[in-house]
Amino acid sequence: MRFTAKSYAQDWFSALQAAETSKWHAISRSFLDTMYREGFSARLPEVLRLITQMHYRAQGLIPVQVTSARDVSDAVIQKALEQVLPGKKTHITRVIDDTLIGGISVETLNQRWNLSVSGQLQNFAHKLH
């Protein structure tokens, strides 16, 4: 039987969920060894991405990437998240992008909100036309 990245991820995640954290290293080592023996190690990034998604889903979290021109306070990020994702539990990854003029951009797996100065200017220009 040929395994898929999704089947490896589901089995690995289920095994971790059912075990004590002290056993996670041994379980992960076993899955990695099996993937290597089966010639599936090149798919490891995809398997890990799927496991991460399963973890977020199990915790009721939405992964969010917040991009800003410089480091911004937690309060600024929380205010923006309340605006675009009210009442949602999030796992935030911060990214600094010095090409932004100011403000932030918020991105989930399937949606993006450009709350930067340039994004606001673009929205304003579209409203004028």
**Residue 55 in this model has a pLDDT that exceeds 60:** yes
**Residue 117 in this model has a pLDDT that exceeds 80:** no
Q: Which range marks the domain in which residue 90 is found?
A: 62-128
Q: Are residues 54 and 73 located together in one domain of the fold? A: no
Structural domain ending residue among the three candidates 34, 59, 84: 59
pLDDT at 23: 97
Q: Are residues 69 and 117 located together in one domain of the fold? A: yes
Q: Are residues 123 and 73 located together in one domain of the fold? A: yes
Number of separate domains in the chain: 2
**Residue 124 in this model has a pLDDT that exceeds 70:** no
> pTM for this structure?
0.69
Q: Are residues 47 and 67 located together in one domain of the fold? A: no
Compute the distance between CA of residue 115 and CA of residue 108 in angstroms, rounded to an integer.
Answer: 14
- pLDDT band of residue 111 (cuts 50, 70, 90) is very high
For residue 127, what are the CA distances in angstroms to 23, 33, 113? 57, 57, 17
Note the Cα 2 to chain centre separation in Å: 28
Q: Are residues 123 and 108 located together in one domain of the fold? A: yes
- pLDDT band of residue 103 (cuts 50, 70, 90) is confident
**Residue 2 in this model has a pLDDT that exceeds 90:** no
Q: Are residues 72 and 122 located together in one domain of the fold? A: yes
Q: Are residues 123 and 68 located together in one domain of the fold? A: yes
Q: What is the mean pLDDT of the chain?
A: 90
> How confident is the model over 13-40, as a mean pLDDT?
96
